[in-house]
Amino acid sequence: MLKVMILLIAVILIVAIGWWFFGHHQEKIMTARLNNNGQDQKVRIEVNGGYSPSTIVLKKGVPAELDFYRKDPSSCLERVVFPEQGINEQLPQNQLRQIDFDTSQAGEYEFACGMNMFHGKVIVK
């Protein structure tokens, strides 16, 4: 009986840990706003315990600006890295950091904090 109880508790713990790691980061998708009669586009990304929105949709071929605003005081999120674009930028706290993003190629591009712990994605289409 004791063994069954321990097994049951172990299973509950494993499920709870799994849920915590994989379940609770809901994806927030935002499509960039087009400005100047569709000649450029920008989106603001709040950096606070992660990226919000974490998925950004950009229109292909329209020059794009990603406006990162880091509120989070932790050094974990002080850099943002787009490995495929060779972007590795410092994000000053409580300041807007504008990053130009090349939209000439359609695709999905991941970005992350400097330690690769928090993730986001830019979709160009």
Judged by beta carbon, residue 58 or residue 113, the one nearer Cu ion is 113
Residue 121 CB, nearest distance to Cu ion (Å)?
Answer: 16
Judged by beta carbon, residue 35 or residue 90, the one nearer Cu ion is 90
Residue 50 CB, nearest distance to Cu ion (Å)?
Answer: 10
Q: Which residues bind Cu ion (CB under 5 A)?
A: 76, 113, 115, 117
∠ CA(98), CA(75), CA(52), 5° rounding?
A: 50
Residue 51 CB, nearest distance to Cu ion (Å)?
Answer: 11
- CA 123 to CA 121: how far, in whole Å? 6
∠ CA(22), CA(25), CA(29), 5° rounding?
A: 130
